[in-house]
Amino acid sequence: MKWYGLVFATALYFHSFAASAQTAVTPQPATIEQGLAQLKSHQPQQALATFQQVLQANPNDVATNLYAAGAALDLYQGELAVKYAEKARQLDPDNWKVHTTLVVAYAVAGRTTQRDAERELLRKLHADPKAPDAMQSNGFLIDMFPVKQYRIEAVEYFQPLGKFHIYYRFLIRNQQGKRVWTISAESNDFDEKSWEQAHAQQVADGERQFQMVGEGDSNHVDYRMFSGKPIYDGVKAQVLQILNAQTALFPGETP
């Protein structure tokens, strides 16, 4: 074979190889399942990008908008979460999951007025026989925020929960998503009775005595007591003080 014939044959080979390689690496369309797997693997940035690609093809899918909002919340991108959650509400205004996502999105975005409006709506849904998902729920996630290396998830209950009457519970998670500690704002009847006898005017004003209690890995800590009304932002401020003062690892954490 003459040299130019060899060169031509070689060129054809490499052209064929490059074409097949290009075909092999052609990216597949993003899927919801792919994004959910990325969320499960603690890859919220990748999950958000995946859900955004899915939404480019189908922007009016309620579930994907909610998943995108959830991924944005994992990144503490409140305004972006609001964007997707409000889109989901536009598409399905009576969906309980839409409103439970919106309340957190507004909280993370710092939109307190809209957050509180969603809280009231959730309470109305909880009392509505036509909203079975809401009626079956004890409470809802109201907020999500970082402190040091931890993610804090705040839960508000529709009615004080259990024999200790828990109004709010703050779940402290490590970077792998494992719950390492819990702080609850509770008002048990035993302490309340003696407090009421000494604070008649505060009782008349609708106030109670509360305890801030920490629990986890068979450990229990009584942090502090306070009196007043169970206003979320005030309770959150106390939790932030407790967490910022924490210098040791929580029980059950690996050094």
Query: Residue 118: pLDDT above 80?
Result: yes
Under the banding of pLDDT at 50, 70 and 90, the label for residue 106 is very high
Query: What is the pLDDT at residue 8?
Result: 37
Query: Residue 201: pLDDT above 90?
Result: no
Chain region(s) in the chain for CATH 1.25.40.10: 26-137
Q: Which of 67-71, 143-147, 212-216, 225-229 has the lowest mean pLDDT?
A: 225-229
Q: Considering the entire predicted model, what is its pTM?
A: 0.84
SS3 43: coil
- Give the C-alpha separation, 97 to 237, whole Å: 27
SS3 220: strand
Helix (H) or strand (E) holding 131: none
Under the banding of pLDDT at 50, 70 and 90, the label for residue 193 is low
Q: What is the fold, at CATH topology level, of the domain defined by 26-137?
A: 1.25.40
Please tell me which residue, 168 or 1, carries the higher pLDDT value: 168
What is the DSSP code (8-state) at residue 231? -
CB-CB contact of 141 with 153 (8 Å): yes
CB-CB contact of 227 with 215 (8 Å): no
Query: What is the pLDDT at residue 179?
Result: 93
pLDDT average, residue stretch 56-67: 96
Query: Residue 98: pLDDT above 90?
Result: yes
Mean pLDDT of the chain: 86
Helix-then-strand count for the chain, H and E:
11, 6
Q: Which of 29-38, 106-115, 124-133 has the lowest mean pLDDT?
A: 124-133
pLDDT average, residue stretch 61-74: 97
Query: Residue 6: pLDDT above 50?
Result: no
